[in-house]
A and B are shown apart, each in its own frame.
Chain A
C-alpha cells in the first residue's frame, strides 16, 4: 500500500476539529483500548509531549537523563482511549545500561500498538540514530519532530515530508510546549493503529558477514516463533548476546508473543520491573 504524502506529513490545516477531539485523561487508566509507547533521545521535549497529550505534569527539566523510570498516562482521541507509556530517554538501544534495556524490552515484550519517537528538530542527525534502531524492532512508529519553534528560531528548515518518505513512517512537526501539532500527532497515531496509514520502515542492511549471519538465524527464529514481527532484530540481538532475548527464546515466551497471544501490559509490567532493576 502506498502512503500519500499528505497523510505522512500529518494534516496541514490548523483549524481542523482535531484539537477538540483530543481529550487529556491524566492517570485514569482503569480501562484503555490501545497502548502507545513514547520514546526519544534525552532532552528532546519528550516529557513535554507526554504532558501535553495526557494533561499530566510530569517534571520537565532541561538536562539529559532526567526520566529514568517509566511514567504512564492516558489520552482519548475520537472516542478511543490510549494508554501512553513514557520510556526513559536514551541515545540508543544497543547498550546494556538499564534505561536502554527498559526501553528495548518494553518495545519487544509489551508490544505497544504504536510507538511515538520524539526527535529534536534542531539535531536530526543525532536523533535519527535511535529512530532507525526502533524501526528495526517495530513497524508501527510515528516520528514526532519536536522543538520546531527552536528550529525556526535558529533558521533550520526541516522538510518533514522528505523525512517521512526516507524513514517510511509518518512524521509530524510539533511544538509540545505550545501544543502545536499535537492533535495531528494523536490523529496520525490513530491512523497507524487502525491501518489507515501503512508504514514500511527503512531497515538498513548490515555489513555482508553480519547480514549473512542474520539471514541464517532469522528463518530459524521464524520457525520457532511463527509470525514474529521482527525476526531479523531478534537474530541481531542473539548475535549480540542479549541475555533477555536468549531467555525469552528458550522459555517459549517469544513464540507465545508471536502467536498473537499478545502479552497484556499488566503481564509485561512485572517482567520489566524485574529486569529493570539489578
Chain B
C-alpha cells in the first residue's frame, strides 16, 4: 500500500474522477437522489405509524382557504390592514404620553443645568441636542414597535408566512424572479439588512442578486414609524374622525402595495437587462400550523426586535442630535449652517414635492432610517421657531402652518421613504453578501434614482392637474 501511496498524485485522482463522470452521464445524480428517497421511505415506513388523518384534514382545509387563488390575496391584504390599524390606534396615545414626559424632563434638566452654571453650549448640546434626539426616537418609535412586532411574530409563529410566499409565487415567476423572494421580502419588513442575508436560501446567483437589489422596496421597521406618523397626521386627518384610523391603515397598505409593485417591476426590469436567465423551480414546504407560544412571542418581539431596533436607533440618534444642534447653532452670514444647507437643497426638494429640510434630514439620517422624522423635526425647530410639539395635533399645526406642508408633501415623503436608498447597514450587508462594489452601488443608487423620479412625477402631476 505504501508504494502505491507514493505513486498516486491528487491530480491523477481528479483527472480520473473527471473521466468517470463523463462516462456516467448526467443521470447519475438523479439515481442517487432516488436511492436516498427509497431508503428513507423504507426506514420511515418501519419506524412510524400514522393512523388517522383528521388533524391533517383541518390544516388542509385552512390551507385551501388562505392559499386559494381567489381568497388568498384579499385575506392577506385584510390581515395586513388589520395589523396596521391595531398598531395605529394603539400607539397614538402612549406616544403622546412618552413625548410629554420626556420633553418635560428636557426642559427641567436644561433649567437645572443653567441654574448650576453650566455654559450655554453644554446645556444646548446635551439637552436640546443629544437628549432631544433620543426623546424623539423613543416616543415616535417605541409604541408602534411594541404593538406591531408581537402581532407580526404571532403570524410568523402560526406558520402564515410560507403561505404568503405560496400566494405570491406566480407573481414573482412572471417577473423572472424566485418564488422564495417573497420570504426574503417578509424578512425585509423586519429589517432590510436581515432580508438581504436571508436571500441565501435562494440557490441561483442570478435570482439571489435580484432579491438582494430589490429588498429595499419593502419598508423596514425603521421606516414604519415614519409611515405611521405621516399616515396618522395627514392621511387620517383628511378623513372624518370615525374612519380616520382606517384610512391611515389603508394608506400604509397602499404604500406597501406600491413597494411590492416596485419590487416586481424592478425584478422584471433586471431580468430583461443585466440579469437575464431562466426562472428556477423550487419546492416550498407549508409547515403545519402551530399554536404560538405567548411567552416566547413576547420575549422575541420585545427584547430581540423592539429593544434591539430601539437601541440601534438611539445609538445613531444621539450623535445625529448633536450634529443637528451644532448645525443649528453655528451661524455664518446671519443664518445657521442648517439653514444654509436646507436652503441649498431647497430647489431640488421643491422639485420633488418636498423641501430642503426633508432632504437634509435624509442626508443626516443615512446611518439609520429610524431617525429621519426626528431629524426633520429638530431641524425645523432648531432653525428659529422653537416649539415642543409632542402631540400629533400640534405637530400637524407646526408642519402645515409654519412650514407649508400639504397632503402632497406627506404622500411624497411616504413614497420617498419607501423608495430611497437603503441605510448604511443594509448597504454594507449587500457588499458583504455580493463582494462586489458594482452590485453594491447599484443596490444603493438605483432606489435613490427611483425615489427622485417617482416623487418628481407625482409632484409634477399634482402641479399640472391639481393646480
A residues neighboring B (CB under 8 Å): 42-43, 57, 59-66, 68-69, 88, 91-92, 94-99, 121-122, 124-129, 131-133, 150-151, 153-160, 162-163, 166-167, 177, 202, 204-207, 209-210, 213, 216-217, 220-221, 223-224, 226, 235-236, 238-241, 246, 249-250, 252, 277-278
CB–CB A68/B5 < 8 A: no
30 A/B residue pairs, CB under 8 Å, sorted by A:
A43-B287, A57-B303, A62-B156, A63-B161, A64-B284, A65-B183, A65-B201, A69-B200, A99-B200, A124-B48, A127-B40, A129-B37, A131-B40, A158-B47, A159-B48, A163-B47, A166-B46, A167-B43, A204-B36, A207-B28, A213-B20, A220-B12, A220-B13, A221-B13, A223-B8, A224-B5, A224-B13, A226-B5, A238-B17, A249-B10
For residue A68, which residue of chain B has the nearest CB?
Answer: B200
Bound together, the chains give a CA A68 to CA B10 distance in angstroms of: 33
The verdict on A159 contacting B47 (CB below 8 Å), with A64-B285, A153-B55, A226-B5 known, is yes
The CA-CA distance from A10 to B359 in the complex, in Å, is 64
Interface size bracket, B side: 35 or more
A250 in contact with B11 (CB, 8 Å):
yes
* Measured CA separation A166–B39 after assembly (Å): 10
B135 CB–A CB distance under 8 Å:
no
- Please state if B47 and A162 are interface contacts (CB–CB under 8 Å): yes
Find chain B residues with CB under 8 A from A125 CB: 40-41, 44-45, 48
Given known contacts A129-B40, A156-B49, A224 and B8 CB-to-CB distance under 8 angstroms: yes
Q: Are the CB atoms of A63 and B432 closer together than 8 Å? A: no
The interface residues of chain A lying within 8 Å CB-to-CB of B70 are none
Q: How far, in whole Å, are A220 and B156 apart by their CA atoms in the complex?
A: 50
A-contact 0/1 string along B22-35, CB 8 Å cutoff: 01100011011101
- For the complex, what is the distance from the CA of A163 to the CA of B43, rounded to whole Å? 7
Contact (A249, B14) CB under 8 Å given A153-B55, A157-B49, A177-B293: yes
A99-B201 in contact given A63-B162, A250-B14, A278-B435 (Cβ < 8 Å): yes
B300 at the interface (CB under 8 A from A): yes
Question: What is the bound-complex CA distance between A42 and B12, given in angstroms?
Answer: 39
A204 / chain B contacts, CB cutoff of 8 Å: 35-36, 39
| Chain A residues, Cβ within 8 Å of B296 | 60
- Asked if A94 meets B35 with Cβ closer than 8 Å, knowing A62-B156, A63-B162, A125-B40, the reply is no
List CB contacts (< 8 Å) of B406-455 with chain A. Answer: 432-435
From the candidates A62, A95, A128, A220, name the one contacting B16 in the complex (CB within 8 A): A220
Counting chain A CB atoms within 10 Å of each CB, which of B36, B202, B203, B284 scores highest? B36
B161 close to A97 (CB less than 8 A)? no
Question: What 13 new A-B contacts, CB under 8 Å, besides A128-B44, A157-B51, A177-B293?
Answer: A62-B159, A99-B200, A124-B48, A155-B51, A157-B50, A162-B46, A204-B39, A209-B28, A240-B21, A249-B14, A250-B10, A277-B433, A278-B435
Residues of B near any A CB (own CB < 8 A)? 1, 4-5, 8-14, 16-17, 20-21, 23-24, 28-29, 31-33, 35-37, 39-41, 43-52, 55-56, 156-159, 161-162, 180, 183, 186, 197-198, 200-203, 205, 283-285, 287-288, 290, 293, 296, 299-300, 303-304, 432-435
* Cross-chain contact B287 with A239 (CB below 8 angstroms): no
Q: CB distance A62 to B14 under 8 Å?
A: no
Nearest A residue to B42 via CB reads A166
Question: What's the nearest-Cβ distance from chain A to residue B30, in Å?
Answer: 10
> B4 — which chain A residues lie within 8 A by C-beta?
223
**Quick one: closest A residue to B303, CB to CB?**
A57
With a cutoff of 8 Å between Cβ atoms, the chain A residues found around residue B433 in the complex are 277-278
User: Which of B39, B157, B203 is within 8 Å of A97, CB to CB?
Assistant: B203
Q: Which residue of A lies closest to B165 (CB)?
A: A63
Which chain A positions have C-beta within 8 A of B52? Answer: 155
**Residue among A91, A92, A154, A160 with most chain B CB within 10 A:** A154
Q: In the complex, A204 Cα to B288 Cα: how many Å?
A: 31
Complex interface: chain A residues within 8 A of B284 (CB): 64
Q: Is the CB of A235 within 8 A of B17?
A: yes
Minimal Cβ-Cβ distance residue in B for A88: B200
- Determine whether the beta carbon of B33 is less than 8 Å from that of A252: no
What residues on A are CB-neighbors of B157 within 8 Å?
61-62
Cβ contacts under 8 Å, B16 to chain A: 216-217, 220
- What is the CA–CA distance of A228 and B149 in the complex, to the nearest angstrom? 49
Per the bound structure, the CA–CA distance linking A217 and B16 in Å amounts to 8
Chain B residues positioned under 8 Å from A66 (CB to CB)? 198
A156 touches B50 (CB 8 A): yes
What separation, in Å, do the CA atoms of A236 and B161 have in the docked complex? 37
Contact yes or no, A159 B13, CB < 8 A: no
- Residues of A within 8 Å of B202, CB to CB, are 97
| Residue among B20, B47, B200 making CB contact with A217, cutoff 8 Å | B20
Q: How many Å lie between the Cα of A157 and that of B51 in the bound state?
A: 8
Please state if A249 and B13 are interface contacts (CB–CB under 8 Å). yes
Given the complex, which residues of A lie within 8 Å of B432, measured CB to CB?
A: 277
* A43 to B52 Cα, complex, angstroms: 23
* Min CB–CB distance A22 → chain B (angstroms): 20
Q: Are B203 and A64 in contact (CB under 8 A)?
A: no
Report the bound CA distance from A213 to B46 in whole Å: 31
* Chain B proximity of A52: nearest CB distance (Å): 12
